Structures are given as C-alpha cells and as structure tokens.
Amino acid sequence: MDLQELEEKKDKIYSFLQSKEYTPMKLKELASILQVPKQEKEEFKEVIDKLISEGKVIYDKRNCLKCSGDNMVTGYFSGTAKGYGFVRVEGEDNDIFIPPDKTGSAHDKDKVLVNILEQSTGRSREGEVVSILERADDHITGTFQRTKTYGFVIPDNRKFGSDIFIPHGFTKGAVTGHKVVVEMTDFGGPDKKPEGHVTEIIGHIDDPGTDIISVIRAFGIPMEFPEGVINQLKDIPSEVAEEEKVGRLDLRAEQTITIDSETAKDLDDAITISKKDGMYTLGVHIADVSQYVTENSPLDKEALKRGTSNYLIDSVIPMLPHELSNGICSLNQGTDRLAMSCIMEITPKGEIKGHRIAETVINVDRRMTYTNVQRVNDAIDAYDGSEQELFAKLSDANVKISELKFKEKLSGEILETLDEYRDFAEMFRLCLELSDILRARRHKRGSIDFDIPECEIHVDEMGKPIEIKPYDRNRATKIIEDFMLAANETVAEDYFWQELPFVYRTHETPDPEKITKLGIFINNFGYTIKMGQEEIHPKELQKLLEKIEGTDEEALISRLTLRSMKQAKYTTTCDGHFGLASKYYCHFTSPIRRYPDLQIHRIIKENLRGKLNEKRINHYNKILNDVAFLSSKCERRADEAEREVQKLKKIEFMEPHIGEIFDGVISGISTMGIYIELPNTVEGMVKIEDIQDDFYYFDEEHYRLIGRNINKCYNLGQRVKVKLEEADKLLRSIIFSICEEEES
C-alpha cells in the first residue's frame, strides 16, 4: 500500500469513527462492519496502527477502538531521574509537565498520547500519559548489579527513570560491574518495576573501550557492515579507470591541494584558486562518491540507514566502509580522482558572479594539514615586513628561508614548513585573501558565529583520556570553512532556481516567544535586541554576541542564544539558513560522511547528463522527504552520542583528581546550584545545599545566588576555587565544592 492510498483509507476510517453512528468496538468487529475482505485484513490493521501512532485513535479499557478527543495530544516524553517528565509536542513551544504519578509506563523518548489536565492559573500545562504510541527502544544498555536471587540494571540513560529488574536465569552470566544490553519484556508502571532479559554482555566497566561501545549500543548505531556491502566492495576498483575519465572536465593541470587534520584518511574535498583581472576563480572539488555508491545498492541502503559518520573521540563509525572512503573516494596526493566540482567566479567584494558545476577529474599536488598551514600563518604574522613582500620572496627560488627577517625567533618546524610549502606561496596568499573577503561578506549580511568553546580530547592507546583542551579554530580551518560554505550556497541557489527535487539544509527563524524570553533575560545584563513584527533578523543576534565578547556573561548568553534557535535540519524545500543569514543552503561538500551530500550529488549528476526526466523527477519527489527526515534523525543521534562520549571521558579524566583544588569560573546558576567551568572545558556543579556558610536562594531577575543572612552573592563569570568532590561515570556527574572566591 503506497502512502497516498494509506492516507485515503485512513481518512475514511477516521471519519467513520468520528461519526455519531459509531460506538466503540473491538478491531475484529470494526473490520466486519466495514466489510473488510480477508485478503485486506493486514492493510486494515496497518491503517488502524497508523491512526493510533498519530494519537487520533486509542483503545479503551475494554480494548475497544475510539477517537482520542480534543484534549488529547501526541508528543515525545522526556523523562527525569526523579520520576516526573515532560512531553514535547511538535510545533509547540511549551512542553507539557507530567507529574510522577501520571507518567504511566512511559520512559525517555517514547512517543506518547497525553490527556491535558485542567491547569491552575499561571501554571504550565499538565498532562497524564494515556498510552504509549511508540517505544523509543526495546533494548536498553546499563550497568548490571547482582543480588543473591536476582539482578537489576542501572540504565546508562538516567532519564529512563527506573532500574530494570532481571529475573534469575535471565542474566546471561553477568556479574556486578558488567555493562550489558537488556531486552525489555515489561516496561512496568507506577507500581511495578520494568523487567527484562540480558541479551549481551559488552564488558566490565573498567575494561578499555567498554564505555564507548556501550554508548554505540545505547544509541543503536550500526557498527559492522552487512555481507551484501562487503561483497559489493569487491567490485569497486582501487584506481580510476581511463574510460571513467572520458567526458569529464580535466583539471589535473591545476595546482590542487587538500587541507585536513593529520589523522584524516578520508580526504573528500580539495581546492584550486587563481586570480585574473581582479576576479578570483575558486574551485571546490568534492570526491565523486556517487560514481561508486549507486542508488539502491547494498552500499547505498546501508549509507542511508547510517545517515552520517559518527566521530566518538578515537573511534570512527563510518557511513561508508574504509575501503571506499580511504581508498578510491579519498583525494590522495598524486593520484587521479573523480570529483564533483563547483567552480566559482568571485569579485573582490566576495560576490559570486558566475559558477559552473561539473563532473571532473583532478590530481592533488599536495596534501596539507591544518597544523602546517597554521605554521605558515604564524610565519606571516611574525614576518618583519608586509604579507605581500613575504609571499613575493617565497615565490623567488633565489631567496633562502634563512635570509628572511622575522620580528621573533621562529621554531625549526615553522621554518621547515615554510620552505616545504614555498611552491604554494601564491596559492596561500590568494586563499588567505579570499577567505577574509568571504567571511567579511557573510558578516555584513548578518551571519552568526557562535564562539562557544568546543573540546578536544586526547586519549592513549587504551582509550584513557590524557588531555582535554578547548578546540582551536585557527586560520587554516577557517579557510576551508569559508570555501565550503561558498560552494554549498552556490549549489543550493542553482538548484533552487532550476526547480528540481533537492535536499536543502534548513535553519528556520527562531520562535518569537523564545526570542522574547531571551530579550527579557539579557535585559538583566543591560543588553537589548530588536525584533520586527514577528521575526528577528540574524544581524541582531550577531550584534548581541559581539557586545558580550570578553564579558563575564559571554558563555552563558552565547549558550542561551544558541538554545533559543531552532535545530538545523534537512528539508526538500529551500527555506534558508537563519544562522548563516543565507537564503539558499545545502550540504554538498562531504558525501563520504553525510548522506544528503551523496543524495544531491546523484541528482546533480543525472541533471548534468540530461537523464533527469519526468520519471526520475517523480521518483525523487517521492523519496526525498524520507531521505531528509532520516538524515536529520541520524544526525541528531550522532550529535547526542558524541556529547555522551565526551561527557564520559571528561568524568574519567577527572576521576584521579578527586580532592584536588581547581580554578574555575561560574558559567551558570539555577535553583539547583552553581555550574563551574574549568579552563579545559570540563563543567561540574556545586549543589546549592552544599554551600555551607549561609542559606542561599536563586535571584532569577539578576541571575545570581544570594545568601539570606550575610548577603553574599555568587555571580556569572565570577572566578572561584573549587574542590573536586565526585566524578561518577554511573551517575554521569561531576560535583565540586566551593573553597574560596576570587575577585571577579
């Protein structure tokens, strides 16, 4: 049954259930009254299940079907360790509070049907979970604990809300401390514990790698590639065949480079750049993955299922097998590779005046790294003279590196890199020049740059964290970022005006209510933002972030501003990208690690070859909504898994330091206590009840804690000395205590 047929049958049945003639009845009775033929019983059940999953129809206590009513809504349950929860309803800003005795058998991330209860004046909506429409997962990961007669599992997801009872004989031999996967047999309820059987023992909590594998299992991220994918790899060549190059734009004579991290093996983007008569020609060349991953092949189906590559510190779970991503699809130095290229003509003001999207063949002249490119940039900054003068001398083979004069002594590594890359001096100059121009143009139109420190975690060969520090977004990373953004915008605009089926990257305008709340909050710090009648322009938020730069409240306001915005997603309509202040945006530049990029490469290629006929257009119109939805879902899963692994590694890093004193900054304040951030980005909490010198309350208006008796205050940005009291991987928490305060 196709989607259109399902919708038609669903509407007819729902209309009948809403009619005055209908009285609640069992499924079999309803099928009989509607005279459903025997051979269509399965389809009929599918339609009813769809109505139930949408929350339009429910089973009553007698197991009879009836309409759910106007006070019923469907949404996703977000649990808490304390038993209560919230339900998020699609398209609504405010969540519904679910008291502990009204959650039923709902657990975190379940899709539920909620009955809205009568609310008191001034309070948020309260509700009661009536039924579970869809379980988030029937397999839960956690830590096993054994007793004499049974076992129980403490879920890794503390929002699950309850330990899981494991009957005797269903423990699979697990012992206390084992990380396990539990198959749920009963999700319990208000008066009954959830119950399950252990189906897999991942390893002991102290074993290397167990923590990351547990996260992978918890999020349902597939690790191994199925046999069909492995078999398909055997038919993929290791080198580009001559016949594959025929008909492509040949760019092998162009000076071409890749810039990536030292450890990267899947090099999927390369650049070329030149300048003539004041106009820049920028080429962004992306590995032509679609040449080898054909539609509906085992590789393609698995890539869609995974949606994206997952980067979990020292573990990479790729969207495509390494044999492909690190092999013929990697733009390795000195080898012919097939690419999809976006070649742009750009004015000195950063305006893209013309472009060409083409199937190409390229050959990378030099594989460069962010570290080495940054070394060149350090040399530029230290040179005793102008940037142009330095590049002119580097381009002159008669000038020795030792003859160059610098304002400070440079390391041997920097000088060696400068010498190694001198043949690319002119290219460097143009890259830096154009990068600055493109960035300034984006800034002028209102693009928002959140400078919230991300962390970089280094682990040893056993997976133990040995260093945590803020990630450095240096000049080298910004060059690639600027060029990729330009290509993504150019491709999106091209296909928008062609009115062809496509997958866009959409970041919607924030909800006015959330921006209003943000405006009220920042007003406490003396800041304001201007709103139009219904919308805010990204430039207003850009101005706000510039005003708070370097202030004590910068980190908090930046985070709250980010939270007030909607989550970016993939769509089939071009609705613009608010954060980038861009009307047209897509993801074109990473088909090795993102499925939407691979999908649009396939569309572009068919279009370039004149094969995008009416039949194919209808085909894409039919499948792309699902592709966009699944890709967005997989992206969120990958982001959540990455955050979870980072949290675990930060806790593990702090474990040996319990009892030690640290310098920290107050990064957040709530009724629960004070959030402390250390210079290495590790964040923990000082519970309000643990501040012993007074009884403190939260002053929401001025965002601070105040002591009732001695009137002492704790403010945002205040520097404090803290003692590490707890670092608990099981509870996922870091707890500090206040030692003394410093002057802010």
CATH topology agreement for domains 72-134 and 139-207: yes
Taking phi over 0 as left and psi of -120 to 50 as alpha, with beta for the rest, 72 belongs to beta
Task: For Cα atoms 91, 97, 100, give the angle at the middle one, nearest 5 degrees.
Answer: 145
The answer to whether residues 73 and 96 touch, using CB atoms and an 8 Å cutoff, is: yes
Give kind and range of the element (H or E) at residue 315. Answer: strand 315-317
Give kind and range of the element (H or E) at residue 197. Answer: strand 195-204
Helix, strand and coil content of the chain, in percent to the nearest 5, comes to: 35, 30, 35
598 vs 373, residue with greater confidence: 598
Interval 62-87: pLDDT, tens? 888 888 776 778 889 999 888 889 99
pTM, two decimal places: 0.87
Q: Is the pLDDT score of 304 beyond 50?
A: yes
Task: Read off the amino acid at residue 721.
Answer: K
Distance of alpha carbon 684 from the chain centroid: 23
The radius of gyration of the chain from alpha carbons, rounded to an integer in Å, stands at: 29
Q: Is the pLDDT score of 683 beyond 90?
A: yes
Q: What is residue 75's three-state secondary structure?
A: strand
Residue 231 carries which DSSP code? H
Q: What is residue 94's three-state secondary structure?
A: coil
Nearest CA-CA partner of 210 in 658, 640, 645: 645
- The length of the chain, given as a count of residues: 744
Retrieve residue 52's tokens.
């139930």
Which residues make beta-bridge pairs with 250? 361
Retrieve residue 257's tokens.
């480079």
Superfamily, domain 72-134: Nucleic acid-binding proteins (2.40.50.140)
Q: Which fold has domain 658-741?
A: OB fold (Dihydrolipoamide Acetyltransferase, E2P) (2.40.50)
Crossing angle of the two packed helices 554-563 and 538-548, in degrees rounded to 10? 160
Distance CA 98, CA 113 (A): 12
Q: Is the pLDDT score of 139 beyond 50?
A: yes
Q: Are strands 661-670 and 195-204 parallel, antiparallel or unpaired?
A: unpaired
Distance CA 739, CA 725 (A): 11
Interval 152-163: pLDDT, tens? 999 998 888 889
Nearest CA-CA partner of 358 in 260, 449, 242, 487: 487
Give kind and range of the element (H or E) at residue 15. Answer: helix 3-18
Pick the most confident of 2-11, 282-291, 399-408, 701-710. Answer: 282-291
Give backbone dihedrals phi and psi of 60, rounded to 5 degrees, phi first.
Answer: -85, -175
6 vs 576, residue with greater confidence: 576
Retrieve residue 538's tokens.
């990204």
Interval 305-348: pLDDT, tens? 999 999 998 889 999 999 999 999 999 999 999 999 999 999 99
Domain ranges of the chain: 3-67, 72-134, 139-207, 475-641, 658-741
Residue 567 carries which DSSP code? P
Distance CA 232, CA 415 (A): 46
Interval 192-221: pLDDT, tens? 889 999 999 999 998 999 999 999 999 999
Distance CA 143, CA 211 (A): 11
Interval 499-557: pLDDT, tens? 999 999 999 999 888 888 888 888 878 899 988 766 899 999 999 999 998 888 887 78
Handedness of CA 491, 492, 493, 494 (dihedral sign): positive
DSSP string, 145-168: EE-SS-EEEEESSGGG-S-EEE-T
The answer to whether residues 708 and 653 touch, using CB atoms and an 8 Å cutoff, is: no
Q: Would you state the torsion angle of the CA atoms of residues 561, 564, 567, 571, taken in this order, to the nearest 10 degrees?
A: -110
Distance CA 155, CA 217 (A): 12
Distance CA 8, CA 299 (A): 34
Tell whether domain 139-207 is in CATH 2.40.50.700: yes
Distance CA 308, CA 318 (A): 7
Confidence of residue 559 (pLDDT cuts 50, 70, 90): confident
